[in-house]
Each structure stands twice: as C-alpha cells, then as structure tokens.
Amino acid sequence: MSEHTHHITPYKTLGIILVVLFFFTFLTIEITSIHLGALTVTVALLIAGVKGFLVLSYFMHLKHESLLLKILVAMVFVLFALIVLITFIDYAFR
Amino acid sequence: MSQHENHAFEHRDDEAKKLGMWLFIFTELLLFGGLFLVYSIFRSQYPDSFHEGSLELSVTIGAINTIILLVSSASVAVALTAIQKNNTKLSMQMLLLTVFLAAAFLVNKYFEWGAKFHHGLYPGSELMQLLDRGHHLYFSLYFFMTGLHALHIIIGMILLLISYFKVKAGKVKMDDFMHLENAALYWHLVDLIWIFLFPLMYLIS
C-alpha cells in the first residue's frame, strides 16, 4: 500500500555513513587544533555542514523523501542563513 | 478474516504523520538557530573571551560524547530498518542500545558540568558574577545551550523507550512503524544539533 513512500535504508549504507561521520569528527578535531586563524571557523562549520547533510540525507532519509519535504527543509536553512546575515549587517552598520 | 478487512480500511496517513513531525523539527531547528545566532554575534564581539572560554572545556569529553551520539543515531536508524524488515528482536535491541548510549552521554555531561560546578562555575554563581562580560556570556551560553540540548536528550530517551514498549507490544510493526520513525527523527535532530554545538563550543579557539 505505502511501499512507494517508504524506502528501506540498507544496514550497509548506515554503517558506511557512520564511518564517514567518524572520519569527519576526527578531521575537524585535527584541523581546529592547527592555528589557521579565521579559516578555522570556516573549515569547522563546513565540516559540520557536511556531517549535518549526511545525517539529514541518510539517517533522516531525506534523500528518498518527496521533493516538497526536501524544499521545506532547505528553506528552513535558507531562512536561518538570512536571519544571521541580516543581523550581522545590522551590527556592522551601527 | 474480518479483522484483516478492518485493518485494510483503517484510516491512517503516514505521510501526514511524518510531515507533522518535520514541521515540529523545523521549530526546534529555529529555536537552537536563535541561540546559535546569539552565540555568533557575541563571539564576533568578544573573540578573545570566547577563545579563552573554550579552552576551559575538555575536547576529549566532547569528542567522546560526539562519538556516542553518532553511534546512537546510527543504532536508531538500524532499529527502523530492522522493523521495516520485520526483525522485531533486532529493532528492540537497537532501541535499548540507543537509550543506553543516551544515558552514557548524560553521565559524561554530569561529570563535565560537575567539574565546572566544583570550581564554582555555574549560572548565577559568585565566580560568574566576577567574570568580565565576554567570559560571562560564553559560559552562560555554554550552560544554556548544552543544558537545553541535554533536556532534548532526556525527552528523546523517553520517546525511544515508548517506541521500545510499542514494538514489544506489537503496536509498532513491519507495516505500521510511524511512531518509531518519528521518534528516530527526533533523535537524529538531537544528534544534528550536537554536530554544530561540538565544534562551536569545544573546538574553535
């Protein structure tokens, strides 16, 4: 009945994603221990973004969800980015 | 036979249940998003204080808790796959493992916060009043954000335990698992927030 709406994520995929997440955790700890100045924040946030994307796509199955849901989730992050941007512009020009 | 027919015509909308859960997750993301925004603003205003503040935290404990949450996130995903493949036993084992890992996270947090409290560093303490504005803000945000996150861990544990008993009672099963799926979504959210909290609080310095 609802077969088309429920994609079953194989155990193997979950295992691979977990190993990749471990790798990125290790990478972010190593990279932030080196002094890269302002780059550190950017790199750490980029890696966190990749990890977040993997969790959303595979653990939360967004990869196999409807386009509607994908767009909704993307819009939440766009909204947050806009709020951050506007707030920082406000602080920069006072 | 009649039972089977009733089941076939039972009113159920899995898509709506899932969409409802996601809408709730959006509000959670924006709740923590607001706190991340406050953190970013004050970090840009007091970079040195935030740098010194983050040095006070143990990267080791933070890293262990990160690994714990990643494994627990994977184990709850395995629990969902197992129930979809009608492997009730594995699903229940994985749910128990997830709850156990959640408890381990809280134990770590207890020792981490305990050490801070022991040094007189807790919200409203005399030491906190003596700190300069930047340090005060860093530790206030640290306690508030990790505290709110820990509250979500506790709520997630309760949801996962309810799922466990529903699987045990046969109410969550191969062709009807939305309760487990939504509980799992909530748990992944908790993991997702920690993925950003960990580098921002512990690493960037």
- Domains located in chain B, CATH noted: 29-203 (1.20.120.80)
pLDDT in tens, B133-191: 999 999 999 999 999 999 999 999 999 999 999 999 999 999 999 999 999 999 999 99
Indicate the average pLDDT of chain B.
93
* Phi then psi dihedrals of residue B176, to 5 deg: -155, 85
User: For residues B165 and B170, what is the distance between their CA atoms, to the nearest angstrom?
Assistant: 8
Contacts of A80 in chain B (CB under 8 A): 29-30, 33
Query: pLDDT, tens digit, for every residue of B54-90?
Result: 998 999 999 999 999 999 999 999 999 999 999 999 9
Contact check, Cβ <8 Å, A51/B195: yes
What are B's interface residues with A at a Cβ cutoff of 8 A?
Answer: 14-15, 18-19, 22, 26, 29-30, 33, 37, 40-41, 44-45, 59, 63, 66-67, 70-71, 73-74, 77-78, 80-81, 84-85, 175, 185, 188, 191-192, 195-196, 198-200, 203-205
Burial of B3 (0-12, 13-18, 19+ CB in 10 A): exposed
- Is the C-alpha dihedral spanning B88, B91, B95, B100 positive or negative? positive
Q: What is the average per-residue pLDDT within B85-106? A: 97
Give the three-state DSSP class for A76: helix
The domain segmentation of chain A, as residue ranges, is 1-60, 66-94
Residue A17 pLDDT exceeds 80: yes
Tell me the average pLDDT across A26-39: 85
| Confidence at residue A1, expressed as pLDDT on a 0 to 100 scale | 41
* Whether residue B193 has pLDDT greater than 50: yes
* Portion 12-71 of A in contact with B at CB < 8 A: 14-15, 17-18, 21-22, 25, 28-29, 32, 40-41, 44-45, 47-48, 51-52, 55-56, 58-60, 66, 69
Considering only alpha carbons, which residue of chain A is nearest residue B177? A6
B-chain CB neighbours of A44 within 8 Å are 199-200, 203-204
DSSP A3: G
Residue A7: pLDDT band (50, 70, 90) is: confident
* Nearest CB to B81; choose among A2, A11, A73: A11
Q: Does A87 touch chain B (CB under 8 A)?
A: yes
Per-residue confidence (pLDDT) for residue B7, from 0 to 100 = 57
